[in-house]
Amino acid sequence: MTDNYKESIKKKIIIAIPKGRILKELEPMLKKVKITPEKSFYKNNRKLMFSTSDKNIIIIIVRSFDVANFVAFGGAHLGIVGSDVIKEFSFEEIYAPVNLGIGKCRMSVAEPIKLAATDDPKSWSHVKVATKYPKITKNYFAVRGVQAECLKLNGALEIAPMLGLTKRIVDLVSSGKTLKENGLTEIGKIMDVSSYLIVNRNFSKSKPEKIQTIIERFRKVANVKTS
């Protein structure tokens, strides 16, 4: 990568978007805000940075949790990520001005169906939980007077109880099909989740007009009813 190319990137607005389930719902929204990625974005390759139909905007595609990191630490001006990630990191450097109304699901506590038949959550004083969200999980149980020991896993949470790692998990749930197929059931909802447009506070001050224009474009197409 040449120095000239690096300098040209610095002049553009960078938006970090996540891989996975949110991306499918996000694609039509990107077209509506006239930030359509280049054709190579839709091909199965390892490219991570893409030009768009807006010559002043670049898209980078990263893991969901990394969207928050890229925006908070200045690698991207804006990003799109779930409220689960926003709450888990709670970065002071970012704010979330627009609920996009996509990627809707919930974060729940789940345990084996057989255990749930006789288990009473009110009797818990200490639990061991497998989760991607140790901060949210500990806070959720703490307000209920329960000490939570968290085993942080980045995937395959549903098999943790089956393999004896933990009795319970905290994870995102949509239809509940994956839980059911692995012998688990929800026993408590922690929070509803949807995807937000997030912004780096410093960039919003240094490039106020450009950032605000993009925010307004997303706000107009967000799938959220306003009163």
pTM strictly above 0.85: yes
- 193-198 average pLDDT score: 98
- Which whole number is the average pLDDT over 66-88? 97
DSSP state of 149: E
Asked if 68 and 160 sit in the same domain, the reply is no
Segments in the chain forming alpha helices (H): 3-10, 21-32, 64-72, 83-89, 113-116, 134-142, 177-181, 201-206, 208-221
What number of other Cβ atoms are within 10 A of residue 200's Cβ? Answer: 25
166 and 202 fall within a common domain: no
| AA letter at 33 | V
Show the 3-state SS of 207-225: CHHHHHHHHHHHHHHCCCC
Angle separating helix axes 208-221 and 21-32, nearest 10 degrees: 110
Q: Check whether residue 163 and residue 215 sit in a common domain.
A: no
Q: What's the domain range around 179?
A: 105-193
The verdict on residue 227 lying in a domain is: no
Q: Give pLDDT, residue 20.
A: 82
Residues 67 and 196 sit within 8 Å (Cβ to Cβ): no
Considering the domain architecture, whether residues 198 and 91 belong to the same structural domain is answered as yes
* Residues in CB range of 124: below 8 A, 6 or more apart: 141, 144, 146
Quote the mean pLDDT of the chain. Answer: 93
Q: What are phi and psi of 175, to 5 degrees?
A: -85, -20
71 with 89, same domain: the answer is yes
Pair 43, 21: CB distance under 8 Å: no
CATH code where residue 178 lies: 3.40.190.10
**Does 128 reside within a domain?**
yes
Same domain, 134 and 25: no
Are residues 117 and 180 located together in one domain of the fold? yes
Check whether residue 19 and residue 97 sit in a common domain.
yes
Pair 126, 198 in one domain: no
pLDDT of residue 6: 62
pLDDT digits (tens, 9 = 90+) for 17-29: 998 888 889 999 9
Does 135 score more than 50 pLDDT? yes
By residue count, the chain amounts to 227
Q: Is residue 156 part of a domain?
A: yes
What pLDDT is stored for residue 225 in this prediction?
Answer: 64
Q: In this structure, is the dihedral angle defined by the CA atoms of residues 151, 157, 163 and 168, taken in order, positive or negative?
A: positive
| Domain count for the chain | 2
- The pLDDT-based confidence of 227 (bands split at 50, 70, 90) is very low
Residue whose entry in the numeric block shows the structure tokens 């002049």: 11
Distance CA 134, CA 28 (A): 33
For position 7, what pLDDT does the model report? 63
